[in-house]
Amino acid sequence: MSRPEVHIIDTRVANVASLIAAFARLGARATLTTEPRTVGGAGAVVLPGVGSFGAGMSALRGAGLVEVIRERLDAARPTLAVCLGLQLLCAASDESPGVEGISHLPAKVTRYPGSVRVPQLGWNFIEPGRSCSLLTRGHAYFANSYRLTAPPPGWSVAVAGYAGPFVAALERGPVLACQFHPELSGRFGIDLLDRWLARAEQEASVAC
């Protein structure tokens, strides 16, 4: 079976070149899109993010994508959220007071305390819970000033530590949300993207 085409949501605030290159290494074609119909119907979708919570949500609302993404997540269709992308799935963030997120996760993103260097830049070890199937133990690359401190119910979680434990990644079926950048995390990240693509392939075969 050929690898599914990956549609990366163009939020205008993310550098997606490394993501496109990572998927190319895995034999998957990745293209940018802001079309709601494409995002709603695609076999595999990525919500990337580098920048602020408010700017990311403004881009999604401007493109008419917020409700489409919610419906996709509610239906548990293969979706990957990266870095700010994970935070955008939440209801709110300290970074942009008064801005409503996608609200698929009933949680608020908070800033790291002043006792540590912000942003967290570099490698950190993640530890997946026993129920994780996509996530494994290993070192991943982070670049974040804000984090989710507690996992929402119904999700399998991997944690890391920086000023205390925080959510490094979440998974539920073919939906994967990473605070770290898998595309910048060497072999560990490439292998994770490969497993997510394989899950998307399985979902496509079931749908057929």
- Catalytic residue, chosen from 95, 171, 183, 201, is 183
Out of 90, 104, 181, 203, the active site residue is 181
Pick the catalytic residue from 7, 83, 95, 203: 83
What is the C-alpha to C-alpha distance for residues 199 and 44, in angstroms, rounded to an integer?
A: 10
In this structure, what is the dihedral angle of CA atoms 5, 169, 19, 80, given to the nearest 10 degrees? 20
Q: Catalytic annotation on 5? A: no
Helices 17-25 and 186-207: crossing angle in degrees, nearest 10, is 70
In Å, how far are 68, 82, 118, 150 from 45, measured between CA atoms? Answer: 12, 11, 30, 25
Q: How long, in residues, is the chain?
A: 208
Burial class, 17, CB count within 10 angstroms (exposed 0-12 / middle 13-18 / buried 19+)? exposed
Instruction: Please say whether the dihedral angle defined by the alpha carbons of residues 80, 103, 14 and 68, taken in this order, is positive or negative.
Output: positive
183 is annotated as an active-site residue = yes
* Bridge partners, 181 (sequence order): 141
104 is catalytic: no
- Which of the residues are catalytic? 83, 181, 183
